[in-house]
Amino acid sequence: MHSSFMTMDNLCQAKHGRESSGNPKHLIAVCQMTSTADKDENLKTMMDLISKGSKRGAKMVFFPEACDYIAESKAESLTLAEDLDGHFVQQCRKAAMVHNVWLSIGGFHQKSKAAENVAKIINTHLVISDQGQIEATYAKSHLFDLDIPGKIRLCESDYTVPGQKITPPVPTPIGRVGLATCYDLRFPEMSLALAQGGAHILTFPSAFTQVTGKAHWETLLRARAIETQCYVVAAAQTGSHNSKRSSHGHSMVVDPWGEVLAEAPEGPGLCVAEVDLGCLTKVRTDMPVWQHRRPDLYGRVGGGGAGCISPDDESSYQFGHVTISSAQVFYRSNLSIAFVNIKPVLPGHMLISPIRPAETLADLRPAEVTDLFMTVQRVQQVVMQHFGASSATVAVQDGPEAGQTVKHVHIHILPRKKNDFSDNDDVYDELQNHDKGWNPDTKLRSEEEMSKESEALRAYFAKSL
């Protein structure tokens, strides 16, 4: 049995040969249940586990799939289902406030309001804040269907509406949490998309069967942690729910190096572990797989983006010899940033650069090239919309003879309007000379002005999540 008290200090030292990050560590509690069709009893168990997790000092408590109930038939399940504002969720919200903890309600049976799906439920994963607010929902998207004629039919799609989108990673006190549910674990593309969207932690609340759990549960959880370099938190159902169904259990926390930090014993209860984002950063720094990916060969998972990372994750960014305040950065991906200009050629003149210092395009790795130009595409659309432009000039000044004055490859986006230059090619002369010959009298924009513009642009990306 894995100890639930192994700390990330020990892990960083043992596996990476370095001292602990010194960053704050946050305790989480991962719950294991044997849900039945008795909703009141299940809720009572949850309230007890929330209380125990809070007393242990957990900042966030994770529950398994179907923590509200596991019914014996489709008809019974439909009868027991509730709305998002029903009694079950309301009690969870109250408990979060009373115990001052965040909750991952790994899956409750939500009534479907769509007429065509009135005889089905939505397997909904909720994140509830310590203020009792529903911060995010995710509808399970991969449904387990097994139909062998004459032998067995177990089709989740018979009674569940599949989700249609990935929920962007949710900011919480323990880090950004990427939401998935049970069978989603078998699809690494989803985990990679969530990591690409900025997740620190992936959570897979589950009700794995005894057979599949014994064969694949730990292997899949560790694989998802290693390939995404995220923590993986998996609250699980355990034991016999009724005469037809039983679950594997073994709720687990895995660190970004693939080590199992905690595993629940048999039966209902909880295990605890510490999350240290400083250790996560060290793993990603020492094994920079995100920079080494080859999307030019096999495409980019999550190409549309499940969301962008908060620029404020860092207080500042280095752009050649210039330090850029995070307040001036309005978009950040894993590998690129977009920021406002201190001396724009035209209103809306923005800059985009890779986060890793690189002087020329040739210095970029394939993943960085892909990410850089996907960022350009996304930012260009927003900038044109915000500034009411009908066209855009997109330019790379690659080297000093091309007008580059900052030794950090970057791309200019200039929203264009009719007759903004008498001769269109004048824009390139302006670009080449706009940051040369500065003196004390040169008019530059204030930090306040740039921050205000950045804030307005950030709002567009917040809406698109």
Report, as residue numbers or ranges, the catalytic residues.
65, 140, 182, 410
d(CA 103, CA 440): 54
Contact partners, residue 122, CB within 8 Å, separation at least 6: 109, 110, 111, 112, 139, 140, 160, 161, 163
Residue 259 one-letter amino acid = E
Structural tokens at position 150: 């004459």
Q: Give the single-character DSSP code of 158.
A: G
What's the CA gap between 409 and 320, in Å, rounded? 9
- CA–CA separation, 378 and 338 (whole Å): 10
Tokens 């730990």 map to which residue? 218
For 36-79, give the DSSP string: -S-HHHHHHHHHHHHHHHHHTT-SEEE--TT-S---SSHHHHHH
Question: Could you tell me the two tokens for 85?
Answer: 């504002």
Give the closest residue to 266 by CA, choosing from 254, 251, 253. Answer: 251
Residue 292 buriedness (CB in 10 A; 0-12 / 13-18 / 19+):
exposed
Q: DSSP code of 420?
A: S
Q: Is the Cβ–Cβ distance between 21 and 282 less than 8 Å?
A: yes
CA 91, CA 128: separation in Å to the nearest integer?
Answer: 11
Bridge partners of residue 396, in order along the sequence = 411
φ, ψ dihedrals at 3, nearest 5°:
-70, 140
Closest CA to 387 of 397, 379, 396, 377: 379
Q: Return all residues near 254 (Cβ < 8 A) that are at least 6 apart.
A: 221, 222, 224, 225, 231, 232, 234, 260, 261
Q: How many Å apart are CA 198 and CA 175, to the nearest integer?
A: 10
Question: Do 268 and 45 form a contact (C-beta atoms < 8 A)?
Answer: yes
> Position 382: which residue type?
V
Distance between CA atoms of 59 and 29, rounded to whole angstroms? 8
List phi, psi (to 5°) of 166.
-90, 130
Q: What are phi and psi of 394, to 5 degrees?
A: -120, 120
**Which residues on adjacent β-strands are paired with residue 128?**
103, 134
